[in-house]
């Protein structure tokens, strides 16, 4: 399988899941700063994902799956014994999906375009930061009660996604000082070998 990614984007999440699960994947970088977006192999990315964003996962049969929350579940389900997603039909399976949807809609999408496009203005950015802070409070309270990971004692695909999005906080000028459990979570996840390997492979800064 091949994962199309761009450094510093949400594509880090499925990359982490693949490495945690021990699934070999090929990486192909997409230059999302240029129009049209072109992969490192010189392919117009619009032919792979017409929506023009990463991640996209090319499966063994040549078909392409998009949307990070779907991709991480597919990858995790390929190696169920690793336990990155709960079993089909279990209540915990739907709790994990609830977290994936929360992160996607209440954290991920609130970052963009408000914080990554300065042309929207400082007022829009401040509103976005306040909303994100409210949602981080929810994650903080949950980790305080039920941590150290979102699903309790076991690392899951949802943790890979939360780590990825909260990792944008410094760039987005969102202060995590009031969230000690979330900061501990970021340190804990960031120290995992698969996470460090994924970040290094994408050319991202890895904590010493």
pLDDT band at residue 208, thresholds of 50, 70 and 90? low
Rounded Cα–Cα distance for residues 71 and 55 (Å):
8
Q: Is the pLDDT of residue 102 over 80?
A: yes
pLDDT band at residue 83, thresholds of 50, 70 and 90? very high
Q: Is the pLDDT of residue 199 over 70?
A: yes
Rounded Cα–Cα distance for residues 108 and 158 (Å):
13
Q: Is the pLDDT of residue 24 over 90?
A: yes
pLDDT, one tens digit per residue, over 115-157 is 777 777 888 888 889 999 999 999 999 999 999 999 999 999 9
Region 21-30: mean pLDDT is: 98
- Of 10-19, 171-180, 186-195, the one with minimum mean pLDDT is 171-180
The SS3 assignment for 190 reads: helix
Region 94-117: mean pLDDT is: 90
The architecture of the domain spanning 2-83+196-202 is 3-Layer(aba) Sandwich (3.40)
Q: With pLDDT > 90 as the criterion, what percentage of the chain qualifies?
A: 87
pTM score, whole prediction: 0.96
Rounded Cα–Cα distance for residues 180 and 141 (Å):
10
Q: Is the pLDDT of residue 100 over 80?
A: yes
Alpha helices in 44-175 (DSSP H): 68-78, 91-102, 109-111, 122-146, 157-166, 169-172
Give the start-to-end residue ranges of the domains of the chain. 2-83+196-202, 91-192
Of 66, 71, 70, 14, give the one whose Cα is nearest residue 195: 14
| Residue-level pLDDT at 119 | 78
The architecture of the domain spanning 91-192 is Up-down Bundle (1.20)
Give the number of other CB atoms < 10 A from CB of residue 63: 8
Q: With pLDDT > 70 as the criterion, what percentage of the chain qualifies?
A: 99
| Residue-level pLDDT at 120 | 74
| Residue-level pLDDT at 117 | 72
pLDDT, one tens digit per residue, over 106-117 is 999 998 877 777
Rounded Cα–Cα distance for residues 190 and 185 (Å):
8
Q: Is the pLDDT of residue 39 over 70?
A: yes
């Amino acid at each position: 399988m091949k994962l199309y990614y761009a450094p510093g984007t949400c594509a880090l999440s499925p990359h982490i899941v693949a490495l945690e699960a021990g699934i070999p994947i090929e990486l192909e970088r997409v230059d999302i700063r240029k129009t049209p977006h072109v992969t490192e192999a010189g392919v117009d990315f619009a032919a792979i994902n017409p929506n023009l964003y990463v991640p996209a996962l090319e499966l063994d049969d040549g078909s392409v799956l998009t949307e990070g929350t779907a991709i991480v579940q597919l990858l995790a389900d390929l190696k169920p014994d690793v336990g990155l997603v709960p079993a089909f039909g279990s209540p915990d399976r739907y709790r994990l999906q609830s977290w994936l949807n929360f992160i996607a809609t209440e954290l991920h999408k609130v970052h963009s375009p408000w914080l990554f496009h300065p042309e929207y203005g400082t007022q829009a950015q401040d509103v976005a930061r306040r909303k994100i802070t409210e949602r981080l409070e929810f994650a903080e309270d949950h980790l305080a009660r039920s941590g150290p990971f979102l699903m309790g004692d076991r690392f899951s695909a949802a943790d890979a996604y939360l780590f990825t999005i909260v990792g944008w906080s410094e760039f987005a000028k969102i202060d995590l000082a009031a969230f000690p459990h979330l900061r501990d979570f970021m340190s804990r996840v960031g120290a995992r070998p698969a996470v460090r390997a994924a970040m290094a492979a994408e050319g991202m800064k890895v904590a010493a």
